[in-house]
Amino acid sequence: MAETQSYVTLKRAAQALGVHEQTLRSWEKRGLIHLIRLPGSGYRRVPVEEIERLQHEMAARTADEAVRIDPPRRDANSLARARALANTVCAELSHLESETTLDEFMASRRGRAWS
């Protein structure tokens, strides 16, 4: 006899993982988690096995693997570099034609869409 798979709501899964519900939606979009959509309503449900898998992966990470973002430095050299970068961006933006949107400009700078 086949074992029945159990599912939980996004809210309960997010609480179990210690993340926001929107994070789970983002992970689904990026292919990091498999969510089930209920027929008719389209609401998402999370298989318990996925929660357990993610809990295991999250627990296996060490503190050294965590991404750390240091606050910006406030020394004179860093501030001068930041001002120079801001002035460069302002100069580039001032040369844009009025028909060019910010999205088009960012796509050309970054090689992909801004939003």
State pLDDT tens for residues 24-80: 999 888 888 889 999 889 899 999 999 998 888 887 765 556 555 455 567 788 788
Q: Is there a domain that residue 13 lies in?
A: yes
State pLDDT tens for residues 72-82: 567 788 788 88
Helix (H, G, I), strand (E, B) or coil at 80: helix
Higher pLDDT, 14 or 112: 14
Q: What are phi and psi of 91, to 5 degrees?
A: -65, -45
Q: Are residues 88 and 58 in the same domain?
A: no
Q: Note the pLDDT of residue 1.
A: 41
Higher pLDDT, 112 or 36: 36
**Which is nearest to 49 in space by CA: 12, 1, 2, 8?**
8
- Boundaries of domain holding 88: 76-110
Q: Are residues 58 and 96 in the same domain?
A: no
Q: Are residues 19 and 57 in the same domain?
A: yes
Q: Are residues 57 and 20 in the same domain?
A: yes
The count of domains in the chain is 2
Q: Is there a domain that residue 50 lies in?
A: yes
